[in-house]
């Protein structure tokens, strides 16, 4: 695996590969890699000739400086995982390589920015689109692979691609779960043993909804799901929504694709999860 920390060097190298007819797949991450990230890499390896992974903890998408500070950064272990998984290229830049001084960025994401995660983390998606645009500009991938666990983020990135007419195909890859159902996340390492048990209420509730789903009962089903989660010790619910999978507005009779999304604090750790109820 080749490792770059300089964007110009990476760009030059990828241009050579592109000129030789190679297609480029890209998996952007913030590190602390787990099997979920590696499943994105596996998708890239199946669908493109060269797979690039980036590890960059992006400061502009954190609302809370403490959250940024405590974000796990096990770079040696991450490199080892990527090498074992057969990744071709790692881009691991410093902050000053990605940002020069006081940069301004604003993309009109419309209501998508104000719903769900956007409501609880104002400005978050401006930071996400800012860094993903920079990374796309450096890597110029044919395909980019993002995880379904950040469902809203996938919609936001697709909106950016559409607005800016970027020549990249976005692929959403399924959530990977632990054997007990917990969605894999870099944040799971912060959960105590008790927290981890309580966190299972999120996937349990999503599964229950999928099994009992009835389009005419959305309001009462949502209320039941909220009650399940609120009854779990040590879990503080932020939102539970049954939404139109295309735009995250409230699902209704006309929604062809339906997704349920949840966010909660378990102990001191904020977790998100979702499940596609109808595709």
The residues annotated as belonging to the active site are: 37
SS3 92: coil
Query: Who's near 122: CB < 8 A, 6+ residues apart?
Result: 63
Query: Who's near 103: CB < 8 A, 6+ residues apart?
Result: 130
Among the listed residues 215, 210, 245, the one whose alpha carbon sits nearest the alpha carbon of residue 225: 210
Q: Which two tokens stand for residue 247?
A: 């735009």
Among the listed residues 249, 207, 245, 250, the one whose alpha carbon sits nearest the alpha carbon of residue 228: 207
- Name the phi and psi angles at 121, rounded to 5: -135, 70
């Amino acid at each position: 695996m080749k490792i770059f920390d300089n964007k110009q060097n990476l760009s030059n190298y990828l241009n050579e590969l592109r000129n030789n007819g190679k297609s480029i797949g890209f998996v952007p991450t913030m590190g602390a890699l787990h099997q979920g990230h590696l499943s994105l890499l596996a998708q890239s390896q199946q669908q493109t000739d060269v797979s690039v992974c980036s590890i960059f903890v992006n400061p502009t998408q954190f609302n809370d400086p403490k959250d940024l500070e405590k974000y796990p950064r096990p770079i040696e272990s991450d490199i080892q995982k990527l090498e074992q998984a057969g990744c071709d290229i790692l881009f691991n830049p410093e902050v000053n390589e990605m940002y020069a001084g006081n940069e301004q960025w604003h993309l009109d994401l419309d209501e998508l920015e104000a719903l769900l995660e956007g409501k609880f983390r104002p400005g978050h998606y401006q930071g996400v689109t800012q860094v993903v645009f920079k990374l796309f500009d450096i890597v110029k991938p044919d395909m980019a692979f993002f995880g379904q666990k950040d469902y809203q983020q996938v919609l936001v990135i697709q909106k950016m691609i559409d607005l800016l007419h970027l020549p990249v195909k976005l692929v959403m890859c399924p959530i990977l779960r632990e054997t007990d159902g917990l969605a894999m996340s870099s944040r799971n390492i912060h959960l105590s043993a008790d927290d981890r048990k309580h966190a299972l209420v999120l996937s349990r509730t999503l599964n229950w909804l999928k099994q009992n789903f009835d389009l005419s009962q959305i309001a009462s089903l949502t209320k039941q799901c909220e009650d399940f989660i609120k009854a779990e010790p040590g879990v503080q619910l932020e939102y539970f929504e049954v939404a139109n999978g295309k735009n995250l507005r409230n699902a209704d009779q006309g929604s062809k694709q339906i997704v349920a999304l949840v966010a909660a604090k378990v102990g001191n750790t904020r977790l998100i999860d979702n499940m596609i109820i109808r595709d």
